Each structure stands twice: as structure tokens, then as C-alpha cells.
Amino acid sequence: MAALAGFLAAGAAVCSGAEVLDRVVASIGNVAITSSDVMLEYRFERFLDGEWPAPPPDAATMDKARERLTYQTLLLHEENPGPGENSESAKAAADRLVAVRKEYSHLEAFQQALHDLGMTEADVLARLTQDELMLRLIDQRLRPAATPSDDAVAEYYRSTFVPEFEKKNNGAAAPPLSQVESGIQEILVERRINELLDEWIDELKPTSDVRFHSF
């Protein structure tokens, strides 16, 4: 997935001294991420969603895919899973692969998409397992600090849940807070985890020398 930073000094791989074959578009210390890495990431995401053949991405979409891939690569160095976590992640990945197959109308369409992507089921399963490990890392590290206060839950209920419920249900009375409290707590936890994740990545970037380069 990543090349040595020595290729960055050259700017890109070349053929016959002129033709650009690939371009480094991000770097993390001495690890380089190329434009083809980002394109594969984009196509893999579309494959998982059953959106195949993948439509041509615009510049904004490629920028977002590059950012996701860069930060995923950055967080890989923070992982240190135990045997139990590896086993649970592998099982979750296998379940997700079953769900991905169902995104396709028939097995032949799924297999053709795999072929077009240039990956095998084993490749996809390995990548999904890595994704599950990363999600567990993020959850274990950040969830303890993301628990909302009772006041925050009550405020969300009053200012967001009730108005949205009444709008969607033609003014019908919203259920009491006690019936929806756990769902609101999870919404606020996920929101706070995303904020904490951004802060964690911002802390890691300077020490890991994260840089973005033009496509």
C-alpha cells in the first residue's frame, strides 16, 4: 500500500525518464501514499457499498479518500491487539463480508467486482479485519471519555429530539425521555468520539510528520 519515502524525493515513479506512472499525494514520516493507493481506497469503498462499477470520482471525493487513508495508516501504528481482539475482529469481518455479498444481485456480479477490483475474498477479509481492529481501538480508547452528562442528554431531548419527532409525525407528542434516553446517549457518545478522534489525530500528526501533496 505504501512506498518508501525515497520515492518522494523523485516526485513520482517514471518510465524512460519522463512518463509519470504514479504520484505521492501524502506522506507519514518515511511512508508514502500514492494516487493509486487513494484510487484503490475509493474503489474499495464503492465495492463495499455494492456501487459497482465505481463511478469516476471528482476532486473533492479523492481528497476525502486520501484523508481517510492517511489517517487510517497513521492509526495503524497505535494498534496492539491481543489474541481475543484479533479473533473477535476476524469474526466481525467475516459477518461483514457476508453482508457485502448481499449488496450484489448475484454471486457472479460479486465475483466480477472482486476481479475488477484486483482483490480476492481473502484480501477483502484481511482489510475488513484490519478495519474492525481499528474501530475497536478507537472505541476502547475514546468511549470512556465520551459519556454525556444527564444535562446534555436532557438538552438534546428538548432541543433536537422532540422538535424532529413532532415534525416527522405531524405534531404527535414525543415519547418521554425515559423511553429514548439510551438512544440519545449513544448519539451523543458517537458525536463526542468523532470529536475526540479528530483531536487525537491532530496530536499524532506533528509527531508523525503527516503531509499532503498535490495530486
At 174-215, the pLDDT tens digits run 999 999 999 999 999 999 999 999 999 999 999 999 999 988
> For 3-37, how does the pLDDT look when each residue is reduced to its tens digit (9 = 90+)?
322 323 333 333 334 445 689 999 999 999 999 99
- Give the CA distances from residue 70 to residues 13, 75, 184, 208, in Å, rounded to whole numbers and listed in that order: 20, 9, 31, 11
pLDDT at 22: 85
> For 106-145, how does the pLDDT look when each residue is reduced to its tens digit (9 = 90+)?
999 999 999 999 999 999 999 999 999 999 999 999 999 9
Q: Is the pLDDT of residue 152 over 50?
A: yes
Q: What is the mean pLDDT of the chain?
A: 89
Task: For residues 51-64, give the mean pLDDT.
Answer: 96
Q: What is the spatial distance between Cα 115 and Cα 152, in angstroms, rounded to a whole number?
A: 49
Cβ proximity of 64 and 25 under 8 Å: no
The structure's pTM equals: 0.78
Q: Is the dihedral of CA 7, 9, 11, 13 positive or negative?
A: negative
pLDDT at 8: 30
Closest CA to 23 of 15, 31, 11: 11
Q: Is the pLDDT of residue 1 over 80?
A: no
CA angle 40, 44, 46 (to 5 degrees): 120
Torsion of CA 35, 38, 42, 44, to 10 degrees: 120
What is the distance, to the nearest Å, from the Cα of residue 12 to the centroid of all Cα atoms in its chain? Answer: 26
Cβ proximity of 24 and 12 under 8 Å: yes
Sorted by sequence, the CB contacts under 8 Å of residue 152 that are 6+ apart come out as 188
Q: Which helix (H) or strand (E) holds 2?
A: strand 2-4
Q: What is the spatial distance between Cα 74 and Cα 2, in angstroms, rounded to a whole number?
A: 12
